[in-house]
């Protein structure tokens, strides 16, 4: 069964239960994530087998596209029909970012072919909020996304503000 930020029943019916409503109100999930969850539930009716191990973690509007942070979401990219179904339901092109077992590996994939030199946690006063500073090495022209987009994606993955530094 496809897993989304809202519960399965809510994704299928389109009506949010008390628990999901509260998540939305507290800002733990966004309206966009609720909408994309419903699309995934509709897609599951047609592509049950393909989507059975897929988890939708987050969804984020990035320029004209909708970025989907997933686990096992590569099946969507590999299946043109499924991808087109989701894109037509969302009414936007999608980009899939695959979340790996740990954040470091997820970042390594995202910033490929650049190398990660280091990831520092910076405590920002006055409340000691954590900001990640990611130092990369390599040619930024070979990246899959622009620096600004990468920052947005990294923040979605880390759930914290991110600062990127690139050394040649
Ligand atoms: Zn629910």
Q: Which pLDDT score is estimated for 47? A: 96
Q: Ligand 1 centroid vs 14 CA: distance in angstroms?
A: 9
Domain ranges of the chain: 8-98, 103-167
Q: Does domain 8-98 have CATH number 3.30.230?
A: no
- Which stretches of the chain drop beneath a pLDDT of 70? none
pTM of the model: 0.90
Burial annotation 93-125 (CB, 10 A radius, 16+ → b, else e) = ebbbbbbeeeeeebbeebbeebebeebeeeeee
Q: Ligand 1 centroid vs 120 CA: distance in angstroms?
A: 36
Q: Ligand 1 centroid vs 10 CA: distance in angstroms?
A: 5
Structure tokens at 56: 């939708």
Q: Which pLDDT score is estimated for 129? A: 87
Q: What is the pLDDT of residues 96-142, one digit of tens each?
A: 999 998 999 999 999 999 999 999 999 988 888 899 999 999 998 98
């Amino acid at each position: 069964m496809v897993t989304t930020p809202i519960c399965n029943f809510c994704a299928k019916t389109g009506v949010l239960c008390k628990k999901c409503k509260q998540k939305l109100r507290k800002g733990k999930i966004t309206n966009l994530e609720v909408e994309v969850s419903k699309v995934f539930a509709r897609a599951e009716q047609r592509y049950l087998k393909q989507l059975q191990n897929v988890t939708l973690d987050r969804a984020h509007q990035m320029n004209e596209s909708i970025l989907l942070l997933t686990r096992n979401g590569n099946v969507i990219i590999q299946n043109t029909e499924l991808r087109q179904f989701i894109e037509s339901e969302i009414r936007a092109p999608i980009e899939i970012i695959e979340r790996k077992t740990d954040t470091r590996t997820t970042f390594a994939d995202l910033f490929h072919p650049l190398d990660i030199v280091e990831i520092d946690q910076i405590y920002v006063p006055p409340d000691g909020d954590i900001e990640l500073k990611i130092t990369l090495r390599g040619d930024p022209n070979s990246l899959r996304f622009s620096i600004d987009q990468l920052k947005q994606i990294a923040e979605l993955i880390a759930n914290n503000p991110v600062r990127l530094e690139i050394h040649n």
